[in-house]
């Protein structure tokens, strides 16, 4: 069904084949896969009374199952309670990365990237811009890869050599962007192109699309746009873009789509639910069938129970109704399809209505094991791959530019210190689980199996401790204050004395 519906979408042969693949998957994710169909689901007949097939009608019910699974898995990746903490041996670098993550809203950027990248791939652009005070600040921008073409070094297939963005745009829009476009060319298509290299962000002057020149291989070499604020030199020594492949088993450019295996089933669910809704509407106003006369005085078919007529002994009248068993069967089939779709893409199939009591974090983790497995694989692409690469880029940029965070300069960060990510637990533990964790950590720390610093880092996500180094210093100060506090030699209060029946006061105190 997916292929049948998408065949009606015209393909632009000027783009590479992957552009159409990414475009169709994004339509499924955004719920716009049916927008090109000309008829609503209620339109059964055309203007000439011809029957309109289902494949030409837009479903009236849309399940949005793909978006649901993507949102659930991404929430386990980068929501406020699941965003990882950058760890670095250099304290200055660690603190600076934490401050930069907050100022640039890096968790929001990564949520956007993981959501849009679920179609196969996504790119994250790092930019250094001067604010109104002339201070350099970092910004991150998520780029759809539909019109991007990456190229890697032959000897380093994991390092970008360049990224080219190329797509068509109308002349009127270019005029609004400040380009000198004649009014006669407002409706014409132009190629808009820019390129990122390890030293420059190059903008090219838009040029009109010429199919004949494209076939001949002429006229497709754009000129560099030297306009103010467009082509810029950054000299970073690397392309300031992180290219993210969504999941393994893709190709060299795009990873596997998160919801690809369920697309046909999702479309089937949408049409079934639309048919079911239509049947329920019909059942609420059943058609009246009569043998004679077949039509009313105005020549129209008589419908509705209120319009019943009396017939003679040779006549007959019936209400064409649909009983409830058909609707129940349809809903049961839709539920089976939904479970099948979720199983194929590792979505959450648990029913919260069937959970009678509060469950521990570990119990919820077991219930959502399939979804966690999906999020765990996404951690490799977007966490250990994309997020770490962005943090290393930030450290490298600090060597070239004087960066400001919250109005303060952070100086040059240590580019020799390795950076790692510390991920929190999938689900928040209960009070009982917190108590067990504290006991376990104390046992290991007292036995010398782990340091107190490691113990504090382990419980930091549980109690929302952002800076573990400051927390450890505070603990040491509290311990020191406790040791330095003088011991009171005053006689204890009577309420604190041990009771001993039959002994005098002096003996009991002793």
- pLDDT score at 296: 55
Specify the DSSP element, H or E, that contains 377.
helix 369-378
More reliable by pLDDT, 504 or 35:
35
Question: Do the strands 200-203 and 189-196 form a parallel or antiparallel pair, or are they unpaired?
Answer: antiparallel
Q: Is the pLDDT of residue 311 over 80?
A: no
Handedness of CA 461, 466, 471, 473 (dihedral sign): positive
Name the residue ranges covered by the structural domains of the chain. 287-320, 429-510
Query: What is the average pLDDT value for the chain, to the nearest integer?
Result: 82
- Least Cα distance to 98 among 421, 491, 437 occurs for 421
More reliable by pLDDT, 509 or 28:
28
Q: Which two tokens stand for residue 190?
A: 């132009």
**Mean pLDDT on 141-168:** 93
Cβ proximity of 69 and 368 under 8 Å: no
- pLDDT score at 387: 95
- Least Cα distance to 394 among 142, 95, 164, 163 occurs for 95
**Mean pLDDT on 350-360:** 57
pLDDT interval class at 499 (50, 70, 90): very low
More reliable by pLDDT, 306 or 326:
326
Task: Please write the tens of the pLDDT for every residue from 37-70.
Answer: 988 888 888 888 888 888 888 988 888 889 999 9
Q: Is the pLDDT of residue 294 over 50?
A: no
Q: What SS3 class is residue 393? A: helix
More reliable by pLDDT, 352 or 222:
222
- pLDDT score at 321: 58
String of b and e for 57-73 (b: at least 16 CB within 10 Å)?
bbbbbbbebbbebbebb
**Mean pLDDT on 414-420:** 91
* Residues paired with 317 in a beta bridge: 290
Task: Please write the tens of the pLDDT for every residue from 445-479.
Answer: 888 888 888 888 888 777 777 777 788 888 888 87
Task: Please write the tens of the pLDDT for every residue from 99-110.
Answer: 999 999 999 999
- pLDDT score at 286: 65
Task: Please write the tens of the pLDDT for every residue from 370-416.
Answer: 888 999 999 999 999 999 999 999 999 999 999 999 889 999 999 89
Task: Please write the tens of the pLDDT for every residue from 65-96.
Answer: 899 999 999 999 998 888 998 989 898 999 99
- pLDDT score at 213: 55
- pLDDT score at 494: 45
More reliable by pLDDT, 181 or 392:
392
Q: Which two tokens stand for residue 472?
A: 């450890």
Question: How many H-runs (helices) and E-runs (strands) does the chain carry?
Answer: 16, 17
- Least Cα distance to 70 among 245, 244, 254, 257 occurs for 257
Q: Is the pLDDT of residue 164 over 70?
A: yes
Q: Is the pLDDT of residue 212 over 60?
A: yes
More reliable by pLDDT, 510 or 398:
398
Q: Is the pLDDT of residue 484 over 70?
A: no
More reliable by pLDDT, 465 or 320:
465
Q: Is the pLDDT of residue 324 over 80?
A: no
Handedness of CA 237, 118, 370, 87 (dihedral sign): positive
pTM of the entire structure? 0.78
- pLDDT score at 162: 95
- pLDDT score at 204: 92
Q: How far apart are the first and last CA of the chain?
A: 89
- pLDDT score at 508: 38
- pLDDT score at 160: 94
Q: Is the pLDDT of residue 487 over 90?
A: no
Q: Is the pLDDT of residue 350 over 70?
A: no
Backbone angles phi, psi at 206, to 5 degrees: -60, 145
More reliable by pLDDT, 39 or 301:
39
Task: Please write the tens of the pLDDT for every residue from 239-274.
Answer: 999 999 999 887 889 999 999 998 999 998 888 888
Residue 238 is given by DSSP the state: S
Cis geometry, peptide bond prior to residue 11 (ω within 30 degrees of 0): no
pLDDT interval class at 180 (50, 70, 90): confident
- Least Cα distance to 425 among 471, 360, 352 occurs for 360
Cα separation, 101 vs 106, whole angstroms: 5
More reliable by pLDDT, 502 or 222:
222
What does R_g of the chain's alpha carbons equal in angstroms? 33
Q: In sequence order, which residues have a C-beta less than 8 Å from that of residue 203 and are 6 or more positions away?
A: 193, 194, 224, 225, 227, 230, 231
* Residues paired with 142 in a beta bridge: 124
């Amino acid at each position: 069904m997916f292929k049948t519906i998408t065949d009606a979408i015209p393909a632009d042969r000027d783009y590479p084949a992957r552009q159409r693949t990414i475009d169709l998957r994004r339509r499924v994710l955004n719920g716009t896969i049916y927008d090109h169909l000309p008829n609503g689901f209620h339109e059964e007949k055309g203007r000439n009374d011809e029957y309109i097939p289902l494949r030409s009608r837009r479903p009236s019910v849309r399940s949005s199952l793909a978006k649901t699974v993507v949102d659930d898995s991404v929430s386990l990746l980068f929501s406020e309670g699941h965003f990882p903490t950058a760890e670095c041996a250099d304290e200055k670098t660690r603190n600076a990365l934490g401050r930069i993550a907050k100022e640039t809203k890096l968790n929001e950027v990564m949520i956007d990237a993981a959501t849009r990248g679920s179609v196969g791939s996504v790119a994250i652009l790092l930019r250094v811009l001067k604010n109104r005070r002339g201070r350099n600040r970092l910004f991150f921008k998520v780029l759809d890869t539909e019109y991007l073409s990456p190229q890697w070094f032959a000897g380093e297939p994991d390092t970008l050599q360049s990224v080219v963005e190329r797509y068509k745009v109308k002349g009127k829009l270019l005029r609004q962007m400040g380009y000198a476009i004649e009014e006669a060319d407002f409706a014409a298509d132009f190629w808009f192109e820019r390129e990122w290299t390890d030293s420059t962000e190059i903008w090219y002057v838009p040029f009109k699309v010429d199919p004949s020149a494209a076939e001949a291989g002429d006229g497709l070499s754009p000129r560099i746009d030297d306009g103010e604020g467009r082509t810029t030199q950054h000299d970073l020594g690397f392309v300031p873009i992180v290219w993210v492949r969504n999941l393994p088993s893709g190709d060299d450019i795009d990873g596997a789509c998160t919801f690809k295996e369920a697309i046909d089933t999702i479309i089937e669910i949408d049409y079934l639910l639309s048919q079911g809704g239509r049947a329920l509407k019909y059942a609420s106003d059943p058609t009246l069938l009569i043998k004679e006369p077949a039509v009313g005085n105005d020549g129209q078919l008589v419908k509705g129970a209120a319009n019943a007529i009396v017939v003679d002994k040779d006549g007959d009248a019936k209400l064409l109704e649909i009983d409830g068993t058909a609707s129940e069967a349809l809903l049961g089939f839709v539920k089976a399809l939904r479970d099948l779709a979720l199983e194929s893409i590792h979505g959450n199939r648990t029913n919260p209505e069937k959970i009678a009591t509060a469950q521990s974090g570990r119990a919820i983790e077991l219930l959502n094991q399939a979804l966690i497995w999906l999020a765990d694989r996404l951690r490799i692409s977007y966490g250990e791959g994309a997020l770490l690469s962005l943090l290393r880029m930030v450290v490298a940029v600090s060597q070239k530019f004087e960066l400001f965070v919250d109005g303060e300069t952070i100086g040059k960060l240590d580019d020799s210190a390795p950076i790692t990510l510390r991920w929190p637990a999938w689900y928040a533990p209960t009070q009982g689980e917190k108590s067990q964790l504290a006991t376990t950590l104390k046992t290991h720390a007292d036995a010398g199996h782990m340091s107190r610093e490691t113990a504090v880092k382990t419980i930091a996500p549980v109690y929302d401790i952002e800076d573990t180094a400051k927390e450890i210093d505070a603990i040491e100060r509290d311990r020191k204050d406790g040791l330095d506090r003088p011991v009171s030699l005053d006689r204890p209060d009577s309420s604190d004395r041990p009771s001993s029946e039959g002994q005098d006061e002096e003996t009991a105190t002793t």
